[in-house]
Amino acid sequence: MTFAILSFDVDQLESSISQLSKAVTAAYVQLGLREKETELDRLTKESAEPDFWQNPQYAQKASRQEAMLRRRLEPWRHLRQELSDTLELAQLHDKSLHQNLNEQLEKSRSAFKTLKDELKLSGPYDDHDTIISIHAGAGGTDAQDWAQILLRMYVRWAEQHDISVDTVDESLGDEAGLKSVTIELVGGDFTYGKLKGEHGVHRLVRLSPFNADNLRQTSFAKVEVLPKINEPGDVEIDEKDLKIDVFRSGGHGGQSVNTTDSAVRITHLPTGIVVSIQNERSQLQNRETAMTILRSRLAQLQIEQHAEKISELKGPNEQAAWGNQIRSYVLHPYKQAKDLRTRFETSNVDAVLDGDLDPFINAYLEHSLSA
C-alpha cells in the first residue's frame, strides 16, 4: 500500500513538472522570445565578424541590443533547461530523488511567477525607452508649478531604477514652474511598458502657495508617455505628409542659440500633430530630435486607435482634455492619491510625489491584463 501511494506521488510529481514546463514554453512563445532568440543569434554572429567595429556607431548600438536581449533571455533559458533536467530525473521514478525534485519544482514555480510578470509587458513597444512630455493645463501659475512637481516625480522614479534622464525641450512658466517640458528616459528594462499607464491628465488639489488668501486650488497637467522610436523603419512617415518650418530659437541656450534659425517645427499634416524643438544649437540636431518625437507620437496614436498603418490614423482625441483625469492627488483637506481607472489609492501622497510610483504601475498592469 505504501508503494502504491509513493508511486502515485511520483507520477503526480512528473505530471506537475510537465505541466509547468508546458506553461513556461507557452509564455515564452506568447512573449515573442523565440524571435528574440533568432535576433540574438544574428547579433552574436555579426559581432564576431572581423570588420564589426569598422562602423563604431552601429557596433555600439548592436552591442547594446545584444546585451539587452541576452539579459532578457537568460533567465528564461535557465528556467527551461532547469525544468527539462528536472523532468528527466522525475521520469526515472527514483524515490530517493522525490524530496529534491519537489523542492526544485517549487523553486521553478517561484521563478516562473516572477518571470510571468513580463506577460504584462508584452506590448509592441513595451521594451523601448520612453519620452515623457508634461503640459501645464488649467490653473495658471499653480498648474505650471504642478507640471514641475510631476517632472520631479518622474525624474525621482527614474533615479530609483537607474534610468538616465535627458531634457529634450522645456518652456519655463511666467512666474514659476513649467509651461511644458519633454524628457527622455533611457536605459532600464521595459521603461515604456511600465510608464505607459501614466499617460493622461493628472489633477492636483492643494492650498495654493501662489494665492495671497491661501485658498484651495485645483490644477491640471497633461502627461504624454511615448515609446521612443529611434529607427525610421519602425514608423514609416511619408515626406509629403510633413510641413517643416525653421525659426530663430528663443530658449536658454546662450546668445549663439538665438542668432541662427536653428529651431525646427514639424507638422504631420494628416493628423495635425506638431512637434517643435529648439533645445540644440544645430538645426540638424533639432530636426532629428523632432522626427524621433513625431515617430513616437504616431506610434502611441497607433496603439490608441488600433491602427495597422500610419495612413489610417486620425488626429489625436481632443476629448482627452483637462478634467478627464486619470489620477487625482489631494493634499488638502485630506491626503490621498487615487487612480480613477484601477481604483488603487494611498494616503502617502508625499512618497508618490517623491517617485514611489511602482504600486500605481503594478495596479495598472494588473488592471490591463484582466481588462
In terms of pLDDT, which residue wins out, 30 or 224? 224
242-261 mean pLDDT: 65
The reported pLDDT for the residue numbered 235 is 83
* Mean pLDDT for all residues in the chain: 86
In single-letter form, the type of residue at position 351 comes to A
pLDDT band at 3; cut points 50, 70, 90? very low
| 236 backbone dihedrals φ, ψ, rounded to 5° | -85, 125
pLDDT band at 32; cut points 50, 70, 90? confident
pLDDT tops 50 at residue 270: yes
Query: In the sheet where 263-268 sits, what is the strand order?
Result: 242-247, 263-268, 273-277
pLDDT tops 60 at residue 8: no
In single-letter form, the type of residue at position 280 comes to E
The reported pLDDT for the residue numbered 236 is 82
pLDDT tops 70 at residue 259: no
pLDDT tops 80 at residue 250: no
pLDDT tops 80 at residue 91: yes
The reported pLDDT for the residue numbered 86 is 93
Give the distance between the most distant pair of CA atoms in the chain: 93
The reported pLDDT for the residue numbered 254 is 39
Place of cell 501659475: 141
pLDDT band at 156; cut points 50, 70, 90? very high
Residues 171 and 165: their CA atoms lie apart, in Å, by 17
Q: Is the peptide bond before 75 cis (omega within 30 degrees of 0)?
A: no
Of the candidates 319, 318, 335, 321, the residue with the CA atom closest to the CA atom of residue 204: 335
pLDDT band at 72; cut points 50, 70, 90? confident
| 356 backbone dihedrals φ, ψ, rounded to 5° | -80, 75
**Spatial contact of 192 and 130, defined as CB atoms under 8 Å apart:** yes
The reported pLDDT for the residue numbered 251 is 52
List, as own/partner pairs, every contact residues 302-305 make where C-beta atoms lie below 8 angstroms and the sequence separation is at least 24, other chains included: 302/235, 303/123, 303/124, 303/125
The reported pLDDT for the residue numbered 308 is 67
Residues 315 and 272: their CA atoms lie apart, in Å, by 6
pLDDT tops 80 at residue 214: no
pLDDT tops 60 at residue 256: no
The reported pLDDT for the residue numbered 326 is 93
The reported pLDDT for the residue numbered 94 is 85
Grid cell listed for 269: 499634416
pLDDT tops 80 at residue 28: yes
Of the candidates 346, 325, 342, the residue with the CA atom closest to the CA atom of residue 334: 346
348-352 mean pLDDT: 97
Percent of the chain exceeding pLDDT 90 equals: 51
**pLDDT digit string (tens) for 309-318?**
766 666 665 4
Q: What does the buried/exposed string (b/e) look like for 327-354 if buried means 16 or more CB atoms within 10 Å of the residue's CB?
A: bbbbbeeeeebbbeebebbeeebeebbe
Of the candidates 230, 16, 38, 226, the residue with the CA atom closest to the CA atom of residue 104: 16
Place of cell 530525473: 89
Highest mean pLDDT among 216-225, 249-258, 348-357: 348-357
In terms of pLDDT, which residue wins out, 298 or 189? 298
List, in order of start, the domains of the chain with CATH numbers.
2-121 (1.20.58)
